[in-house]
Amino acid sequence: MKRLYEKPLYELVELIHNHVISVEELTCQLLENIKHVEPVIHAFINIFEEEAVKLSKSMDSDTIKDSTLLAGVSVAVKDNISYKDHPTTCGSKILQSYTPPYNATVIEKILSNNAIIIGKTNMDEFAMGSSTEHSYFGPTKNPFDVTRVPGGSSGGSAAAVAVNEAVIALGSDTGGNHIL
């Protein structure tokens, strides 16, 4: 049987909205996968396991609003995007203990759509790089060939989705990155 996190986003949204699967089940499968692959891939700087499980349980006990596209979906967020009261390091030693007092607009939108932020992803320090090798917290590996880089300063986000550590992830465009 296919693991839930291997299904495409549109299928997961439909299964959650129709109460075929629980948000907690999906979240816990993702967290188990993170524990399995993260020691090798290193896509995340911080993982919010307890918070994600608690939120997923509350979503299952509440009625999920069918009008919210991302309800119950786990999202990984690049570590240069401010998430109130959560570490935001920008991949730098200088900011390793910084927690922003506000949310970025995109975080507000994610939360208002009842998505679960599962963690903050690794990145080149201050997004000044093109390989995700230059993070204070260590490099991210390419999930398809660990001798290579995932590419881009948002490599942690890309790797997290590629290796099924998150359903979707946010990156950023610092210097003209283009996805084709």
Task: Find the domain containing 164 and state its range.
Answer: 4-17+28-170
**pLDDT value of residue 17:** 87
Residue 2 reports pLDDT greater than 80: no
The 10s digit of each residue's pLDDT in 70-115 is 889 999 999 999 999 999 999 999 999 999 999 999 999 999 999 9
The three state secondary structure string of 103-154 is CCHHHHHHHHCCCEEEEEECCCHHHCCCCCCCCCCCCCCECCECCCCCCCCC
Residue written as token pair 């349980």: 57
Total tally of structural domains belonging to the chain = 1
Average pLDDT for residues 113-120, to the nearest whole number? 96
Residue 58 in domain: yes
Please say whether the beta carbons of 87 and 45 come within 8 A.
Answer: yes
Residue 179 in domain: no
Residue 124 in domain: yes
**pLDDT value of residue 110:** 95
Residue 144 reports pLDDT greater than 60: yes
**pLDDT value of residue 176:** 54
**pLDDT value of residue 180:** 41
Domain of 132, CATH number, reads 3.90.1300.10
**pLDDT value of residue 62:** 65
Residue 89 in domain: yes
Q: List the one residue out of 7, 28, 27, 10 whose CA is nearest residue 18.
A: 10
pTM of the model: 0.92
Residue 47 reports pLDDT greater than 50: yes
Residue 23 in domain: no
Residue 177 reports pLDDT greater than 80: no
Arithmetic mean of pLDDT over the chain: 91
